Structure 1
């Protein structure tokens, strides 16, 4: 008579039991190996994560502690006063570039980052001239394009290593030099427009027509 409430216990087949045991023994090491590989990939210093980041255009350059070499020509009393006002209004950083010491004339010069972007106040006022006059220093061709940015009229010169931007509509000229390694150099010069507007009066005459609003 079959006991319905307590059915007989079926003994496992030895062959089946052995196969299951081997499967378990194999599955454990495989799972362990997979886990170690995952850990090795995500752990600091493991796998691809250990590779040092390569230098790129977005990697900030190390800024030297040495002063940036800049000339400091002697200024008359009025110009010196204006330039002191300009440098006092300059930011301590320009975007992510920290201010740096300059070799001379901190009351009229400033520098930022590496390679350095420089600001010089009290430079000779550029004048408009014909191309046929030999292109003397400070000569701005009559057909030169003027950049009016944030209320300041800049004359930009695209030189081999550095782009130079000089104000054309101010009583005291301010010049910004931006190394060609920076992108959109005019926009870097524009970072100083606000300080110029706040501290340097506009010229009443001799302003190029390209500077008109």
Structure 2
């Protein structure tokens, strides 16, 4: 008689552990919540998306909540690519050149936002502080964005 309660307790513990593990796995594989930008339907965004790297800073690509090719992410914390954002106008934010592509850098609470300058559609790359120095994440993105012609606006 004493074995049955122990067996019941062990079975209950095993079921609870399985439920927690399944919940954890589900949480880890849940797509990253990312919104497609206003200009995501621009055909150039789909062309650029086909050239995006499989990994960034050694981090694999991760699933996002958006089915738009204008959105992509890599790693945890995620580096996020968004094509079709509004092109930046005149700004006092820092403007840097990486592999021939101009980027406007805007500091965020937990990282940096980089938006192409003088290209349409504009591309935004969000880089968490975990990848500091953040501009070192941009070269593979600059190589992709270089396919968009540089307009008259440039970093000076």
TM-score, normalised relative to structure 1? 0.56
Distance 2:62 2:126 in 1: 15
Structure 1 runs of 4+ with >3 Å offset: 73-76
Based on CA coordinates, which of the two structures has the bigger radius of gyration? 1
Q: Check the 8 A contact 2:112/2:127 in 1, yes or no.
A: yes
Residue 69 (structure 1) aligns with: 33
Gaps of 5+ in 1: 1-63, 129-139
Q: Check the 8 A contact 2:100/2:146 in 1, yes or no.
A: yes
Residue 138 (structure 2) aligns with: 189
RMSD across aligned positions (CA) = 1.7
Residue 114 (structure 2) aligns with: 165
- Pick aligned residue for 1:147 from 76, 90, 96: 96
Alpha carbons of structure 1 residues 153 and 73: separation in structure 2 relative to 1, 3 Å: closer
Q: Give, in angstroms, the shift of residue 169 of structure 1.
A: 2.1
Q: Give, in angstroms, the shift of residue 95 of structure 1.
A: 3.1
CA-to-partner distance for each residue in 1:38-97, whole Å, 9 max, x for gaps? xxxxxxxxxxxxxxxxxxxxxxxxxx3221111124437xx6200001111001111310
Number of residue pairs matched by the alignment:
129
Q: Check the 8 A contact 1:178/1:189 in 2, yes or no.
A: no
TM-score, normalised relative to structure 2? 0.76
Instruction: Identify, as 1 or 2, the structure richer in strand.
Output: 2
Gaps of 5+ in 2: 1-27
Residue 119 (structure 1) aligns with: 81
Determine helix, strand or coil for the equivalent of 1:181.
helix
Distance 2:66 2:129 in 1: 24
Greater length-normalized contact order (CA 8 Å, ≥ 6 residues apart) = 2
- Pick aligned residue for 1:101 from 36, 53, 63: 63
